[in-house]
Structure 1
Amino acid sequence: MLNILILAAGKGTRMHSDLPKVLHPVAGKPMLAHVIETAKQLSPSKILVVYGFGGDAVPDQFRHENIHWVQQAEQLGTGHAVMQALPFLDPEAKTLIMLGDVPLISVQTCQELLKNQAKLTLLTFAKANPSGYGRIVRNAQDEVVAIVEHKDASEEQRQINEINTGIMAVDNHALSEWLKNLGNDNAQGEYYLTDIVGMASQQGIAVGGVLAANEPEITGINSKSDLASIERCYQQQQAAQLLQQGVTLSDPARIDIRGKLSVGRDVHIDVGCVFEGEVHLADGVRIGPYCVIRNASIGVGTAIAAFTHIDDAEIGKQAKIGPYARLRPGTVLQDETHVGNFVELKNAQVDVGSKINHLSYVGDTTVGKQVNIGAGTITCNYDGVNKFRTVIGDNAFIGSDSQLIAPVTIGAGATIGAGSTISKDAPAGELTVARGRQVTVSGWKRPEKIKK
């Protein structure tokens, strides 16, 4: 049986922020969320989180998670934090103690730690420059016998480059006994969890040590500088995965993924793009520079030009979007649609082959097939209190600088003369002009292209 205990009570003084440290975001979500996600993948019988600074702000962020929250009203050290959680741990279980400010710890590393059969196993790391860190002292049998702080280490011990990460797996029966004897007779007056290593050694109990392979996995965040560094590490990992999947990145150092990005074959992503939430890019999608895409699905062969913002939208195959387009929630574009520069769509459904290429706002609108909406057209969907819908039929042509005052329907094949303000339904197949007054020209025929 496995319990997981995440220590997340610290204030993070060096963050210089009123926000609890573990709520500062890494890749768009609280660093604690990353630790919780890793914990869940280990399939524990329960997850406990010790919180403190910020009061209920931390548990409120995760109220939908199945987590047992334990408050540490006074932050008196890591040992004290574990003491608060001890009554809620299963006596027969092993507990993996994780840190809420170490967001990049991997499932694989945790599994390696849990494989060790010792009653107490520490996750350690061989650091090139261990100055300032507690050293791991091992005996001839390669068992951990002590953690010696840098200031207390001898010259010989200071040559050791294996350091303590603070992450450990411990048998709950043994943990309970060790915590009873934990003291705070030190300069800080705090209870240090690491003191249990010495207790185990004195009792002749072997202490295991598992070396972590990658430094970012065990790096804690204590400052905004640390936060920025870990953010870059995370993004580099994401970029490396995309490259392995065959994505072409113009510059792997200039991409931000703040959620889940899934990709097909032959996808190209230019510099400065940000992906948030769940985004899917199908085969052959090309994303231009400096686009922001959130919770979107983009179909095969679609091209998104520079500086386009897409939020909670669906785009079909072979579409052309941007530059400087904005697709807001509820937008659905079918295949071969065109949405051009400085066009904003909101809750608009646009059918196959339709074009809205310049300087338009189309909101709460159903657009049929092969419709052309001219530059400067807007759908006036809001009367100051309520929203209303515009319907534009197949093959309609909306002249430039038109206003369609909802609720209104433009019939199939209708033409709206440029500069018209349409407040009544426009009949199918006719030219409707409303410049001062609305006139329908019966029998009017749309001009045909002159063959050369």
Structure 2
Amino acid sequence: MAHAVVILAAGLGTRMKSRLPKVLHPLLGRPMLLYGVEAALATRPERVVVVLGHGREEVERALSGYPVEVAHQEAQLGTAHALSVAGPLLEGFPGPILVTQGDTPLLRPETLLRLLEPLKAGAGMALLTMELPDPTGYGRILRQGEEVLMSVEEKDASEEVRRIREVNAGAYAFDREVFRLLKEVRNENRSGEYYLPDLIALYRKEGRKVAAIRLEDPQEALGVNTRAQLAEVEAVLLGRLRRRWMEEGVRMILPETVYLEPTVELAPDVTLWPGVVLKGKTRVGEGCEVGAYAVLEDTVLEPGARVLPHTVAQGARLEAGADAGPFARLRPGAVLKEGAHVGNFVEVKNSVLHPGVKAGHLAYLGDAEVGAGANIGAGVITANYDGKRKHRTEIGEEAFVGSNAVLVAPVRVGRRALVGAGSVITHEVPDEALGIARARQRNIEGYRRRQEGRED
């Protein structure tokens, strides 16, 4: 059955207490609205219309690249008014039409498709319901047996109605008559708004059945109106992701402490220690280990690579057998080839460390090419920036750069060359040569006593 989807995403979200439009608040690194858009697209609709209001331009930017149309609700006068705004775009569409909310990001495509089933059997309208231990804040469903009579907003409900635990989950399916019937919806309620649930009575008045599809897992319909609810929904999404990857063979030690985003890819036999954060387009290969409290963003670990605790990597690549940390920082463009080692408090930026390179501690390697088997001593710095431009440093295979040396780029240290500790190198050190650039040591006997004006 060909269908369209309308996503209502015009709300201001005042309870979020934020300038950011509510539907753009991030969940696992992505705007909340995109979860609903992707769920809608997964139902294979003919059309998807997103109704926007507050922060329209920002939301439209977030939707770029998605095959959706946009309708603008100038004044937010309720859910029925929002759907009517989409009417001109869907004029002549034969229906049915699914309607979802931009702030319910956990709804699955399978659930949305279930709403279409009653319409195939002749119903005019279907709505999603759920039973909650505490239904506070939700519209209550009134039934007569299997027949749905109405959905009553909490602020308009009597005490007796408020005791009902079956509530409106906010997702609907309508036949093609919905836009005609929307013209009959009135705003005679405490909020002065036009509500979609009022269509129940209008469909029944025409002798059309209104069906309810009850959710087995109420978590799926959780809505976001506050920061606390945002955190609650994000926890559900995280739980789903963690379970998925553990089912695929990933080991998580204290999984409840691991944060990862939907764009992350993990292979079997990966081990994630407590507090790990994986963001963006990070890919972790088979057998890799990521130590406690490491943060990886847009980083690739090839099979067998290791990241030790408290390491931060952004836009980096570690090949098989390479390792970094603890407390290393790999910035964009850092590439550690097979077996390369970067130790504690080493920072690497836009540099390639070829196989077997060792930089054990306290070094900065920026805009550098470090040859296979080279050794970088403690405190070594590639001085790559002259105040205007960045320059490259080339360190040859099996070179040895002594502690606290400064290599002032552009400069080359040759193959198997040595740089003396504490040197400031401004010119090329040829292959197999020793470069030393420091003052000769001079000892002045008795200097301290003379300085203090004392004699033996």
Q: Give the alignment's TM-score, normalised by structure 1.
A: 0.91
Mapped partners of 2:266, 2:161: distance in 1: 49
| Whole-Å separation in 1 of the counterparts to 2:37 and 2:439 | 63
Once the two structures are superposed, residues 286-323 of structure 1 have per-residue CA deviations (whole angstroms, 9 ceiling, x without a partner) of 11111111111112222211111111111111222101
Equivalent residue letter for 2:105 = P
Residue 161 in 1 paired to residue 162 in 2? no
Q: SS at the partner of 1:435?
A: coil
Aligned: 1:101 with 2:103: yes
Give the C-alpha shift of residue 357 in structure 1.
1.4
2:350 is paired with a residue of what secondary structure? strand
- Tell whether the 8 Å contact from 1:292 to 1:309 is kept in structure 2 after alignment: yes
- Could you list the per-position Cα deviations for residues 343-393 of structure 1 after superposition, in whole angstroms to 9, with x for gaps in the alignment? 111111111111111111111111121111111111111111111111212
Structure 1 equivalent of residue 114 of structure 2: 112
Q: 1:204 to 1:414 in 2, by over 3 A?
A: same
More strand per residue = 1
Shift of 1:168: 1.0
Matched to 1:6, the amino acid is I
Kept in 2: contact 1:292–1:310 (CA 8 A): yes
Task: Tell me if structure 2 keeps the 8 A contact 1:360–1:377.
Answer: yes
Distance 1:114 1:296, change over 3 A: farther
2:45 partner letter = P
1:204 equivalent to 2:202? Answer: no
Which of 112, 123, 126 aligns to 1:121? It is 126
1:3-402 equivalences in 2 (<5 Å) = 3-89=4-90, 91-116=93-118, 117=120, 118-140=123-145, 142-150=146-154, 160-171=164-175, 173-402=176-405
Distance in 2 (alpha carbons) for counterparts of 1:83 and 1:352: 63
Q: 1:80 Cα deviation (Å)?
A: 0.8
Report the Cα offset of residue 153 of structure 1.
Answer: 5.3
Deviation of 1:324 after TM superposition, in Å, equals 0.8
Matched residue SS, 1:241: helix
User: Equivalent residues in 2 for 1:428-443 (5 A)?
Assistant: 428-436=431-439
Instruction: Give me the whole-angstrom Cα distance separating, in 2, the residues matched to 1:119 and 1:426.
Output: 83
The one-letter code of the counterpart of 2:291 is G
Shift of 1:160: 4.0
Find the partner of 1:415 among 413, 418, 428: 418
Distance in 2 between residues matched to 1:345 and 1:115, nearest whole Å: 57
* CA deviations over 1:52-100 (Å, ceiling 9, x no partner): 1224222133333332121111111111111111100152132221111
Q: Amino acid of the residue matched to residue 130 of structure 1?
A: P
How much identity, in percent, do the aligned residues show?
40
Select between 58-67 and 215-224 the one with higher mean Cα deviation.
58-67
3-state DSSP of counterpart to 1:113: helix
Q: How far, CA to CA, are the matches of 1:191 and 1:299 in structure 2?
A: 55
| Structure 1 residues 14 and 156: CA distance shift in structure 2, 3 A | closer
**Structure 2 letter corresponding to 1:100:** G
Counterpart Cα distance in 1 of 2:129 and 2:380: 63
- Separation of aligned partners in 1, 2:137 and 2:34: 28
Contact 2:333 2:349 in 1 (8 A): yes
Instruction: Assess if the C-alpha contact under 8 Å between 2:241 and 2:262 holds in 1.
Output: no
- Could you tell me how far apart the structure 1 residues matched to 2:162 and 2:9 are? 30
Per the alignment, residue 446 of structure 2 pairs with none
Contact 1:259–1:275 (8 Å) recurs in 2: no
Q: What's the secondary structure of 1:387's corresponding residue? A: coil
Rounded to whole Å, the distance in 1 between the matches of 2:42 and 2:432 is: 60
**CA offsets 1:204-223 (integer angstroms, 9 cap, x no match):** 11112212232222011111
Residues 9 and 50, structure 2, Cα contact 8 Å, conserved in 1: yes
For 1:60 and 1:282, how far apart are their aligned partners in 2? 33
Count of residues in Structure 1 that have an aligned counterpart in Structure 2: 435
Contact 1:146 1:201 in 2 (8 A): no
Conservation of the 8 A alpha-carbon contact between 1:240 and 1:252: no
Cα-to-partner distance string for 1:34-67 (whole Å, 9 max, x where unaligned): 2122222222222211111224222133333332
SS at match of 2:436: strand
SS at structure 2 position matched to 1:195? helix
Give the aligned residue type for 2:127.
Answer: L
Equivalent residue letter for 1:71: H
CA contact (8 A) 2:43 2:110 kept: no
* SS in structure 2 of the partner of residue 130 of structure 1: coil
- Greater mean deviation of Cα atoms: 56-65 or 232-241: 56-65
The equivalent of 1:440 in structure 2 is none
1:232, distance to aligned residue in structure 2 (A):
1.6
> 3-state SS of the aligned residue for 2:280?
strand
Equivalent-residue separation in structure 2 for 1:54 and 1:423 (angstroms): 54
Deviation at 1:108, TM superposition (A): 2.1
Query: More displaced, 34-43 or 1-10?
Result: 34-43
User: What is the deviation of 1:157?
Assistant: 5.1
- Contact 1:320–1:338 (Cα < 8 Å) also in 2: yes
Q: Distance in 2 between matches of 1:151 and 1:416?
A: 78
Counterpart in 2 of 1:444? none
Residues in 2 aligned to 1:382 and 1:153: alpha-carbon distance in whole angstroms: 69
